[in-house]
């Protein structure tokens, strides 16, 4: 379903898929749309969706980190290592033409992280970047740091692909088949585990309210790296 929203502007299509989209199907469509944007034949795209259970392998994925391939494993072509996607997780694929903006790959990742962190705050979740660890982190119910969102990006001809995933209410045991993002010493959490019941629709509404700030950030060079940041 394609929607019109003032928060993204006329040049960016917002697509919200109600049914679960198989990962391979989404990857093929993203790849084609990326090329079409690069050639000036299509608008930029923000695509919000959910996948059936799948493990995806980034370009740095190590075979030893695939512990139990109980679901289909797909090579994603994005940066990063193994990631799980499945029901209860909100996916945001962000296909943006950086030639129109600051042409800053690190700045894009920084802005994407900030977009997710700002949205989590609307639901009372403190998300943050962590030094040396890609993704969005928070404090779990035991007080330990745990990942609540993943970031994976590929940029071709200065047009972005892939994006982020946020754990609303997935089956967290499904992450046990991999070492998520290659980080063994930290766990994975969700809004549900933290006592927040958030539907996909509620998440999307809050996310889109922060879209203008995300887009504005793409027009600025990325802030210098500080001790508390991790860069994808």
Q: Does the annotation list 195 as a binding residue?
A: no
* 176 labelled ligand-binding: no
Is 81 annotated to bind a ligand? Reply is: yes
Instruction: Consult the annotation and say whether 127 binds a ligand.
Output: no
Alpha helices in 39-93 (DSSP H): none
Say whether 228 counts as a known binding-site residue. no
State yes or no: 144 annotated in a binding site: no
> Is 99 part of any known ligand binding site?
no
20 known member of a binding site: no
Distance of alpha carbon 164 from alpha carbon 182, whole angstroms:
17
User: Is position 83 annotated in a ligand binding site?
Assistant: yes
91 marked as part of a ligand binding site: no
User: Tokens standing for 193?
Assistant: 């585990």
Mention every residue, 6+ apart, whose C-beta is less than 8 A from residue 153: 78, 79, 105, 108, 109, 112, 160, 161, 162, 163, 232
End-to-end Cα distance, the chain: 31
**Which residue is catalytic, options 181, 188, 200, 222?**
181
Element of type H or E holding 211? helix 211-217
Sign of the CA dihedral running 142, 132, 181, 67:
negative
Report how far residue 227's alpha carbon sits from residue 21's, in angstroms, rounded to the nearest whole number: 38
Indicate the helix (H) or strand (E) that contains 30.
Answer: helix 23-38
Residue of 68, 62, 77 whose CA lies nearest to 26: 77
181 is catalytic: yes
Annotation-wise, does 110 bind a ligand?
A: no
Active site residues: 181
Binding-site residue ranges for substrate: 78-85, 150-152, 163-165
Binding-site residue ranges: 78-85, 150-152, 163-165
């Amino acid at each position: 379903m394609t929607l019109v929203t003032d928060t993204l502007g006329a040049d960016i299509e917002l697509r919200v898929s109600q049914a679960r989209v198989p990962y391979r199907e989404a990857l093929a469509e993203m790849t084609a749309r990326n090329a079409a944007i690069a050639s000036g034949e299509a608008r930029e795209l923000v695509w919000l969706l959910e996948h059936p259970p799948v493990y995806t392998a980034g370009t740095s994925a190590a075979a030893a980190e695939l512990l139990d391939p109980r679901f289909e494993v797909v090579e994603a072509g994005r940066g990063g290592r193994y990631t799980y996607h499945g029901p209860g997780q909100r996916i945001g694929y962000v296909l943006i033409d950086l030639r129109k903006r600051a042409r800053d790959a690190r700045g894009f990742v920084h802005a994407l992280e900030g977009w997710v962190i700002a949205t989590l705050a609307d639901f009372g979740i403190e998300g943050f970047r962590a030094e040396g660890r890609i993704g969005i982190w928070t404090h779990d119910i035991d007080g330990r740091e745990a990942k609540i969102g993943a970031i994976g990006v590929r940029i071709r001809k200065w047009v972005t692909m892939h994006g982020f995933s946020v754990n609303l209410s997935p089956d967290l045991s499904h992450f046990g088949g991999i070492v998520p993002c290659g980080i063994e010493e930290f766990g994975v959490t969700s809004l549900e585990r933290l006592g927040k019941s958030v539907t996909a629709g509620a998440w999307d509404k809050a996310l889109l309210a922060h879209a203008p700030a995300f887009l504005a950030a793409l027009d600025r060079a990325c802030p210098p790296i500080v001790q508390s940041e991790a860069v994808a």
